C-alpha cells in the first residue's frame, strides 16, 4: 500500500510539473531603462561609473492628443505608464540648482503648457500616480517645456552630457520635450 501511494504521489508530481506555467501577457507599454552615462550598462569602459538610472514604462501616442488631453495640464502624472517611474542617483546631485541626495526616488511630473514641475518622491513601488502623496516629496523643481517638430511616438527618457560635471535628462513624448539639468 505504501509503495502504491508513493507511486501515485510521484506520478501526480510529474503530471503537475509538466503543465504549462501561467504567465501574464506583455504590458502594452514596455519597460525601459535610461542610464547616465548614456547606455552605461552596455558600454562600460574602464573607470566609467553610473551616476543615474531611470526605470520607466513607455506608453505609445497611438494618434491620441497627449498633453492637455490624455495627461491633463496641472495634474500629477506618473511620468510614463504602469508603475511609477523610478530614478536612482548613485551620487549626490544638484537638479535644476537644488541639491538632492544619492538614493532611489519615484519620479512624478506635473505637465504644463510652458513649464513642468519635476517631483522626486520617497514613496516607491506604486502603480501610477493614484496613491501620490505630496508629503512624500523630497524635491520639486520647475523646468521649461518646448515643442518639437517631429512626433515622438513612444514616451522616452534619455541622458546627455552637459558641461564638465553635468547631464541633461530629457523627457519626450508627442511633440513635447522637457530638459532637466543635473550636476554631479
* Total domains, the chain: 1
| 100 occurs within a structural domain | yes
Q: How confident is the model over 2-40, as pLDDT tens digits?
A: 555 444 454 444 444 556 678 877 778 889 999 998 767
Which residues constitute the domain of residue 124? 29-183
Half-sphere exposure of 82 (CA within 13 A, CB side): 15
- Quote the pLDDT of residue 8: 46
CA distance 96 to 119: 12
Q: How confident is the model over 66-78, as pLDDT tens digits?
A: 999 999 999 999 9
- Quote the pLDDT of residue 21: 75
Sheet with 93-95: list strands edge to edge.
30-36, 52-58, 85-89, 103-110, 115-121, 137-162, 166-183, 93-95, 98-100
| 74 occurs within a structural domain | yes
- Quote the pLDDT of residue 5: 43
Nearest CA to 78 out of 44, 126, 41 is that of: 126
Residue 40 phi/psi, 5-degree rounding, is -50, -45
| pLDDT confidence band for 129 (50 / 70 / 90) | confident
| 69 occurs within a structural domain | yes
CB–CB of 34/54 below 8 Å? yes
Amino acid at each position: 500500500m505504501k509503495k502504491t501511494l508513493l507511486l501515485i504521489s510521484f506520478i501526480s508530481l510529474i503530471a503537475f510539473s509538466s503543465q504549462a506555467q501561467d504567465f501574464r501577457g506583455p504590458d502594452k507599454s514596455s519597460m525601459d531603462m535610461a542610464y547616465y552615462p548614456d547606455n552605461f550598462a552596455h558600454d562600460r569602459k574602464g573607470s566609467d561609473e553610473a551616476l543615474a538610472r531611470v526605470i520607466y514604462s513607455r506608453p505609445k501616442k497611438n494618434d491620441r492628443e497627449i498633453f492637455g488631453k490624455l495627461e491633463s495640464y496641472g495634474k500629477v502624472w506618473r511620468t510614463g505608464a504602469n508603475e511609477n517611474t523610478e530614478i536612482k542617483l548613485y551620487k549626490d546631485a544638484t537638479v535644476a540648482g537644488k541639491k538632492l541626495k544619492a538614493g532611489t526616488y519615484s519620479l512624478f511630473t506635473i505637465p504644463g503648457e510652458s513649464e513642468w514641475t519635476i517631483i522626486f518622491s520617497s514613496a516607491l513601488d506604486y502603480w501610477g500616480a493614484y496613491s501620490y502623496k505630496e508629503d512624500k516629496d523630497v524635491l520639486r523643481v520647475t523646468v521649461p517645456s518646448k515643442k518639437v517638430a517631429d512626433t515622438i511616438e513612444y514616451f522616452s527618457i534619455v541622458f546627455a552630457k552637459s558641461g564638465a560635471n553635468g547631464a541633461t535628462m530629457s523627457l519626450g513624448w508627442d511633440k513635447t520635450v522637457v530638459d532637466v539639468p543635473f550636476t554631479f
